[in-house]
Structures are given as C-alpha cells and as structure tokens.
Amino acid sequence: MKLGIVGLPNVGKSTLFNSLTKAGAESANYPFCTIDPNVGIVAVPDERLKLLGDMYHSKKVTPAVIEFVDIAGLVKGASKGEGLGNQFLSNIREVDAIVHVVRCFEDTNVIHVDGSVNPLRDIETINLELIFSDLEILERRIAKVAKGARMDKTLGKELNLLERIKEHLESGKMAKSLVVEDDDELELFKSYNLLTYKPVIYAANVAEDDLADDGASNKGVAAVREFAAGEDSEVFVICAQIEQEIAELEDDEKTMFLEELGLSESGLEKLIKASYHLLGLISYLTSGEDETRAWTIKVGTKAPQAAGKIHSDFERGFIKAEVVNYKDLLEQGSLAAAREKGMVRMEGKEYVVQDGDVILFRFNV
C-alpha cells in the first residue's frame, strides 16, 4: 500500500511524516522546506505476527508495509507556478490513497500561510490545486483522443467520458463523485490516475489538549468530519507533535506514554486502520519455522488469488488451502492440535479469505 501525504505548508505534514517513518525529513517553521518528495517505508503493527512467530520460533517475522510519500506544501496558485508549483503532484499519481493533513490547532508561533486557521478553506485550497493538476492531464488526453475519435467508436466513447470528467472538474467537484455508465468507462476512468479520483483520509492535526476526547470539542475537527462524511472519506485525529515524541520511544515506553495521555493507540495505528478500511484491505497470515508473514489483500479475494500474492505458481497450480483462524491456532498451540479439534478446514477455489486466516496452500505446478 502506498499513501501520499499532502497539505498546506506548516500544517504539521512533515512532522507527521517524520514521526510515522522516522525518516528525518527536514521540518521547519516556514513553507517549502520539503523540496523533494520524501519516501518512507513503515511496518504495519500487527500483534498477531509476534504471537505466531513466538509459537513457531520463526527465524524471520515479516509484517505488511506501507509506503508514505511526503509532498512539498502546496499553496493557492500552485498549478500556476506559485510557491514550488505543482511539480510534485506527479509523485503521488501512483499512490492508492491520499492522506490530507489539515491544521485544527491554534499556535501564534506557527505561521499559517493564509494568516488564520480555517480547516475547510484549507481543504478547498488543496482540492482546487488537485483539480487544476487533473485538468492538465485531461486536456492532454482529450487532444490526443480527439484526433481519432471520428473514425473510431471506442475513441469516441472515451472522448465523451473525458469531456464529462473535464466539465465535472471545472464545476469544482472531485472526479470520484462523477457517476460512470458502465464497467468499460470505469476501467478507463481508473487508468487516468486522477488525483481527485483517489480515496482521501483526512488527518485532523490538533493540539495535545484535544487528543484525549478525539477532537470532540474542537470545532475545526467537527467541520472536517462533516465534510468528509459528505464524500465518504475517512478522518482520524492526530497531534503530529505528540506522534514525534512517541516515535522516539521504545515499545514498552510507548504504551505507558499513550496511557498517560488517555490514548489506546498511536496516530500511526489510527491511520493504518483508516486506510485499510477505506481501501477495503485485510491481511492473511502464513506461519512456520522459517518465516511468519502478513499478506495484504482486498476484501473478497478468493484463495487462489490470495495464494498468487506469495508466488504466481501458487495461484496457477492451486489445489487446496488449509485454513485456521489465528486465535484458534494460538489457543491450541500447534496446527496438529487445532486439526484434532476440527478447527482446520480444507478450502477450495471459491473460498473467500478472511482477515486473520492462517493459511497453508497446497499447489502443483
């Protein structure tokens, strides 16, 4: 999974990126300190892996990973070359979802590029820049397709779709709110990699005092939640400054620190839950002496395609999947014991893999 982090300058974007990835991207109280896109790879925290790894005495434990791409702070007019322009937006065309950091805290020591804190105005500014960036892509595509559209019905259909998307964006709406007519249009739509088509997770960055009640008393957070609900986006509340402190602690210290703040999970854990939920992802597990590992798949994936995540041969030669829920496996202490209790099932090609399944694939190539 790959997530792109966007936001205005000085909203806590790079501070959040640093704390999530410990990558040490330069963070300073002035716009455009992030000149190049910073990329960080983060392991997905998963207690199930540790428990299974301990049970099997696995030589290696491999978690699922998320790749974060941090983009320089966008400003109004970026698409027309203001600030650093929108040259960095191309770096997030390949991401699965966008994490949009929105400032919901007051601090006279941290300059706001527009002079005041207004989360909805900030969201609108960023969204407009994403729209302008997408319009550039569409105009180039329209110019290319229009040439052959008269002679080719397929290109004619595509031209119709492109012009509908363009009109939709020009009215200030995000591409993802446009209704398409059929699966062919949907496939084309996806192929354009439009930024305004991507799912969005809003990170409402608050002061430490607003963390304990999850931003319930913060008017800015309430406004962001209402806005996000209208477009089926996810929201999570975070204090980037606190996240940075958490990132510097050992695991046992982290738990104590979170408890002192009245929190049950870190911002990273909140973000991962939100992104898995938004993108419809789950993890199944494989475990043995050599390795215990998490594999990320889409909800609804059938056993052969899940096997293909490990190796294409597993999918091609799929015979059966030996499946047990990780809780049952841990309770019984071994696969043999779980088998004796009838907790291990042999599943075929139509089995839909569930979150937390521990699977042994049988295949023949």
Q: What is the pLDDT of residue 21?
A: 77
Mean pLDDT of 4-30: 72
40 and 34 Cβ atoms separated by less than 8 Å: no
d(CA 268, CA 244): 11
Helix (H, G, I), strand (E, B) or coil at 171: coil
Q: Which two tokens stand for residue 206?
A: 């608050």
Average pLDDT over residues 245-263: 86
State the pLDDT at residue 27: 47
pLDDT at 164 over 90: yes
Q: What is the CA radius of gyration of the chain?
A: 23
Query: Environment class of residue 85 by beta-carbon count within 10 Å: exposed (0-12), middle (13-18) or buried (19+)?
Result: middle
pTM: 0.84
> Quick one: pLDDT band at residue 12, thresholds 50, 70, 90?
confident
Sign of the CA dihedral 8, 12, 14, 20?
negative
pLDDT of 74 higher than 70 = no
93 vs 24, higher pLDDT? 93
For the stretch 328-351, pLDDT in tens is: 999 999 999 999 999 999 999 999
| Residues 39, 32: Cα–Cα separation, whole Å | 16
pLDDT of residue 79: 52
Give the Cα separation of 306 and 311 in Å (integer): 9
Q: Examine the pLDDT at 75 and tell me if it is beyond 70.
A: no
Return the percentage of the chain with pLDDT > 70, whole number: 90
Of the chain, the end-to-end C-alpha distance in Å amounts to 29
Least confident of 78-92, 168-182, 205-219, 295-309: 78-92
Q: How many CB atoms lie within 10 A of CB 339?
A: 14
pLDDT at position 72: 65
What average pLDDT does the chain have? 87
Q: Which two tokens stand for residue 318?
A: 């799929």
Give the pLDDT confidence of 288-298 residue by residue, as tens digits.
999 999 999 99
Confidence at residue 327, expressed as pLDDT on a 0 to 100 scale: 96
Check residues 170 and 33 and name the one with the higher pLDDT.
170
- Is pLDDT of 171 > 70? yes
Distance CA 339, CA 345 (A): 8
Q: What is the pLDDT of residue 326?
A: 96
